[in-house]
């Protein structure tokens, strides 16, 4: 097979970048004539942990996987869409250098762009080079169905998601068995700032040669079969599950080592998840009343008006009820940042109270740990609906929660969710264990995702 080159343009956010890089590595492992260049947006909005991750990948990657920072450009940015538009000339410039540096007869030919689900403007750059584009979709197939449907009824029927959310209505969505309730409308679709660029992105999916979706057929068979155009490639679950967390988190892992199997409920709400002081007290009350062992990743919210990620508390007792740490010292541990993969992989972990981010859902399925859904932002309300109602793989704490609503979920509701989550003979727990086995088989030779990846490679290398 002749040598070929792909260009990846991922979003510079950890939830998008890691799965994109793991997909690149998977493609390289299966197609030895392929090389990949990953272009990294170079802007002040990019979190420092993204730069740290990229540097670690540069240090450990083979010469077939290159990471290239785009030219830094801080000028004329008024919105997310304008930021992406401003990057197009820099992407073109970088790809021209890549192709010119390998202009000999035996050099790899450029066969396509793989662009993040929010970076569809980069299709224009791929068109200039005369190569096809593929969308890398970091959410699930059902949500892709949902977005395509919302875009269609918005354009054809003037559908207004804000008015719909204020109603008790339901939507019949292709790819969903159950009607979708208004209360679970994803947060970003209700945003006047985010909804227009989301629509524009979705309109352009049909211009791509295909959509690579981080899911697997056995999990979302109905949603996958409902997607006809553009063609999709469900090649997941694409995860980085290699870290064991012990090098930097010995205290946490040692504590888990001392707990009985499947006895600990793990609470973790993603890199942007945090709660008010009043909500923290309700969670603490629920954990104490439930009597279950727990490991709680508790982060301090950023100051109002600051676009920062939550940080670790200097003093964990600051927002907790008086005496809580002392009363629960025998069964619980409150921490700051958590090594989520390592905790989910540990045999002591028996349940996961999660913000329902798609990567977290796939990780919990991979390790066979059932989830209690507590969505915060983005598409997480949809994911919670899908896991609880559509797939029956999770229990609900508050399916329509939004972190900017000011709502306080009460102790009793949280406690009920935790008790339901930790039932060891529940049908949901058995279904999650079965789905865990299916997720691993999907990636094995002859598995569904293995075969879809073969199809993708054949399509790209034509």
Taking the CA atoms of 120, 177, 375 and 186 in sequence, report the sign of the dihedral they define: positive
Q: Cα separation of 173 and 146, whole Å?
A: 6
Catalytic residue flag (residue 424): no
Q: Which residue out of 16, 90, 149, 346 is catalytically annotated?
A: 16
Region of 130 please: left (phi>0), alpha (psi -120 to 50) or beta.
Answer: left
Pairing type for strands 332-335 and 133-137 reads unpaired
Known active-site residue 400: no
- C-alpha 36/C-alpha 246 separation (Å) is 31
- Provide the pairing of β-strand 170-171 with 180-181: antiparallel
Q: Give dist(CA 64, CA 25) in Å, integer.
A: 9
Burial call 224-263: b when 16+ CB within 10 Å, e when fewer:
bebbeebebbbbbbbbeeeeebeeebeebbebbeebeebb
For residues 296 and 283, what is the distance between their CA atoms, to the nearest angstrom? Answer: 10
Q: Is 191 exposed, middle or buried (0-12, 13-18, 19+ CB in 10 A)?
A: middle
Residue with tokens 């097979």: 1
Which own/partner pairs from 215-218 qualify as long-range (CB within 8 Å, at least 24 positions apart)?
215/140, 215/141, 215/362, 216/438, 216/439, 216/442, 216/443, 216/448, 216/449, 217/442, 217/448, 217/449, 217/452, 218/435, 218/438, 218/439, 218/442, 218/448
Q: What distance in Å separates the CA atoms of residue 129 and residue 342, rounded to the nearest whole number?
A: 42
Distance of CA 191 to the CA centre of its chain: 20
- Spot the catalytic one: 32, 43, 90, 116: 116
Two structure tokens written together for 202 = 């979705």
Q: Give catalytic residues, as residue numbers.
A: 16, 116
């Amino acid at each position: 097979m002749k040598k070929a080159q792909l260009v990846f343009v991922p979003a510079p956010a950890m939830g998008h970048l890691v799965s994109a890089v793991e997909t690149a590595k998977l493609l390289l492992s299966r197609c030895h004539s392929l090389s990949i260049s990953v272009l990294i947006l170079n802007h002040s909005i990019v979190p420092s942990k993204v730069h740290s991750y990229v540097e670690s990948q540069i240090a450990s990657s083979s010469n077939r996987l290159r990471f290239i920072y785009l030219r830094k450009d801080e000028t004329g940015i008024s919105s997310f869409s304008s930021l992406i538009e401003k990057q197009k000339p820099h992407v073109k410039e970088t790809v021209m250098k890549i192709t010119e540096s390998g202009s000999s007869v035996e050099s790899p030919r450029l066969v396509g762009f793989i662009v993040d689900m929010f970076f569809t403007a980069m299709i224009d750059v791929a068109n200039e080079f005369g190569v096809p584009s593929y969308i890398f979709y970091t959410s699930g197939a059902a949500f892709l169905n949902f977005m395509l449907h919302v875009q269609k009824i918005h354009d054809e029927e003037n559908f207004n998601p804000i008015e719909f959310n204020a109603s008790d209505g339901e939507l019949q969505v292709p790819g969903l068995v159950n009607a979708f309730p208004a209360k679970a409308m994803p947060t970003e679709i209700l945003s006047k700032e985010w909804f227009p660029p989301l629509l524009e992105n979705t309109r352009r999916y049909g211009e791509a040669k295909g959509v690579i979706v981080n899911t697997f057929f056995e999990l979302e068979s109905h949603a996958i079969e409902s997607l006809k155009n553009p063609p999709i490639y469900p090649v997941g679950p694409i995860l980085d599950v290699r870290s064991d967390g012990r090098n930097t988190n010995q205290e946490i892992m040692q504590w888990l080592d001392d707990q009985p199997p499947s006895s600990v409920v793990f609470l973790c709400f993603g890199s942007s998840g945090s709660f008010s002081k009043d909500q923290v007290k309700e969670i603490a009350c629920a954990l104490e009343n439930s009597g279950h062992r727990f490991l709680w990743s508790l982060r301090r919210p950023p100051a109002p008006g600051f676009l920062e990620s939550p940080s670790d508390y200097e003093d964990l007792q600051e927002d907790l009820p008086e005496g809580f740490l002392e009363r629960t010292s025998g069964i619980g541990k409150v921490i700051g940042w958590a090594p989520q993969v390592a905790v989910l992989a540990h045999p002591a972990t028996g349940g996961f109270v999660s913000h329902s981010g798609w990567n977290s859902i796939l990780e919990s399925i991979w390790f066979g740990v059932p989830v209690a859904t507590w969505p915060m932002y983005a598409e997480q309300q949809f994911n919670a609906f899908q896991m609880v109602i559509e797939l029956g793989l999770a229990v609900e704490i508050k399916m329509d929660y939004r972190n900017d609503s000011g709502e306080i979920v009460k102790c009793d509701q949280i406690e009920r969710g935790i008790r339901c989550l930790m039932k060891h003979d529940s049908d949901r727990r058995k279904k999650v264990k079965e789905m865990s086995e299916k997720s691993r088989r999907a990636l094995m030779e002859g598995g569904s995702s293995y075969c879809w990846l073969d199809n993708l490679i054949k399509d790209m290398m034509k």
